[in-house]
Amino acid sequence: MKSDRLLLRGRLLSFKSEPQSPDDVSAYDYIEDGALLIEDGMIIKRGTYCDVVADAGDAEIVDHRPKLLTAGFIDTHIHFPQVQIVASWGAQLLDWLNTYTFPEETRFVEESHAAAMACRFFDLLTNHGTTTSVAYCSVHKTSANAYFEEAEQRNMRVIGGKVMMDRNAPDGLRDTPQSGYDDSKELIEKWHGRGRAHYAITPRFAITSTPEQMEMTGALVKEHPDCFVQTHLSENRNEIAFTLELYPEARDYLDVYQRYGLLSDKMLLGHSIHLEDREIGALAETGSRPVFCPTSNLFLGSGLFDDAGLRSKGIVNAIATDIGAGTSYSMLQTLNEGYKILQLQDQKLHPLRAFHWITRGNAVALGLEDKIGTLDPGTEADIVVLDSRATDAMALRMERATTLSEELFVLQILGDDRAIEEVYVAGRAQKGGSGQQRSNEAQTVSGVRSAA
């Protein structure tokens, strides 16, 4: 009988805290010839290979040397129904939503389409090294159910929710204050805390929700304080102006959410670029989490996220792809573009902090650092295997790299899905696995349906 234990051998990198400088070796553990012992989806031992193999028993041994093993990447803001509009030529935020996003999301009322897209969505995530996603689904329950069902088949830790939106959207993409509440309540009861799933109460943004819907959202948050909450904030100046027209009594954009009791350390606020001083103070006071979406902010010309300014106020920032205005599923490429945005503001994103950010850092932002984001014993075995020589350009650069930080920076700037050698979700290898097979089957079914 095959053992359910697995031993992974390779170079190990796991963070203990956020690195304060490029030389902060106290913030992480690095083991040149290391090993992880995994059982029932959990890491039960970490150390040198010689130390761990002594307790491995009949464990299957997979030798990834000389590759680098880190915790799986965490994407804290992504739109599941936008998988087929990535790289759609467009203007800025509001035009892009009306031209591409809203028509596309109406398709997710159909169960078979939502299920097919969920297979392909999660294949893309894991192929790029992402093992946890925080997703916006469409307004339809079918979309959220497809997202959670596919994640459950893969035993992935995910967060998500159906968007609530009852105005300024086309027919087929609006709920009502009551139906948005009822559908969200039903999905919370079905999915929140089931396996590795968490629910996020999801008013899309102030423009698409009436005050009545915001009141119902506040009721949901009060009734389910352990759920996450996610929405958008101050991505675009026209968006801000329109929001304040719709909510003339609000002191500023953030006040729309604040007055309905939505702000807390469970709140994820996508973008958060053009903030007023009062808003920054409220974020710090409530512990709410801004989410930096660099490729999306560049693609839509939205603006530059002030990471250092917010951090100086004690605010915890997350980082994310924001597919589909975001242009890559890769958290490595997200770091690449994030580095450039911060450079424009004379802010530095050194590679140690960058890799902390997409692993333990995002886990801290979610309050899940005891479960994901590290390679610590007792945490879930979500692991990515990185190849810093995956392309000719990377291999050539690596001939001159002499330190771990240099290697990480090569991955940060030049890496993408080709640098992802393997991905383990709860201890199970994903690349080319059962999920990919289901995706191929779903693609065939989708193709037949389209041809018909």
Provide the residue type at 447 as one letter. Answer: G
171-204 burial by CB neighbour count: b if 16+ within 10 A, else e?
Answer: eebbbbbebbbebbbebbeebbeeebbbbbbbbb
Q: What is the pLDDT of residues 57-89, one digit of tens each?
A: 999 999 999 999 999 999 999 999 999 999 999
Question: Minimal CA–CA distance to 114: which of 160, 67, 166?
Answer: 160
Question: How sure is the predictor about 111, in pLDDT bands with cuts at 50, 70 and 90?
Answer: very high
Q: Is the dihedral of CA 300, 306, 311, 314 positive or negative?
A: negative
> 29-43, 119-133, 438-452 — which is least confidently predicted?
438-452
Q: Is the dihedral of CA 36, 39, 41, 42 positive or negative?
A: negative
Per-residue pLDDT at 93? 81
Share of residues in the chain with pLDDT > 70 (%): 95
Rounded to a whole number of angstroms, the distance between the first and last alpha carbons of the chain is 46
User: Residue 351 pLDDT more than 50?
Assistant: yes
Q: Is the dihedral of CA 413, 415, 417, 422 positive or negative?
A: negative
For residue 94, what pLDDT band results from cuts at 50, 70 and 90? Answer: confident
How far apart are the C-alpha atoms of 411 and 420, rounded to whole Å? Answer: 10
Model pLDDT, residue 4: 87
Supply the pTM of this predicted model.
0.95
What CA–CA distance (Å, rounded) separates 113 from 83?
12
The pLDDT of residue 98 is: 87
What is the DSSP code (8-state) at residue 101?
Answer: I
**For all residues of the chain together, what is the average pLDDT?**
94
pLDDT score at 448: 32
Q: What is the pLDDT of residue 432?
A: 60
Give tens-digit pLDDT for 159-180.
999 999 999 999 999 999 999 9
Indicate if the pLDDT at residue 434 is higher than 90.
no
Checking if the pLDDT of 447 tops 70, the result is no
pLDDT at 92: 83
DSSP 72: P
Q: Residue 208: what residue type?
A: T
Predicted pLDDT of residue 207: 97
Q: Are 216 and 240 in contact (CB under 8 A)?
A: no
For residues 2-6, average pLDDT: 81
- Report residue 411's pLDDT band, with 50, 70 and 90 as the boundaries: very high
Reply yes or no on whether the pLDDT at 28 is more than 80: yes
- Note the pLDDT tens digit of each residue in 257-308: 999 999 999 999 999 999 999 999 999 999 999 999 999 999 999 999 999 9
Q: What is the mean pLDDT of residues 422-428?
A: 98
* Residue 444 pLDDT level (bands cut at 50, 70, 90): very low
Q: What is the pLDDT of residues 200-222, one digit of tens each?
A: 999 999 999 999 999 999 999 99
Cα(439)–Cα(448) distance, rounded to whole angstroms? 14
Taking residues 328-333, what's their average pLDDT?
A: 98
Arithmetic mean of pLDDT, 385-394: 98
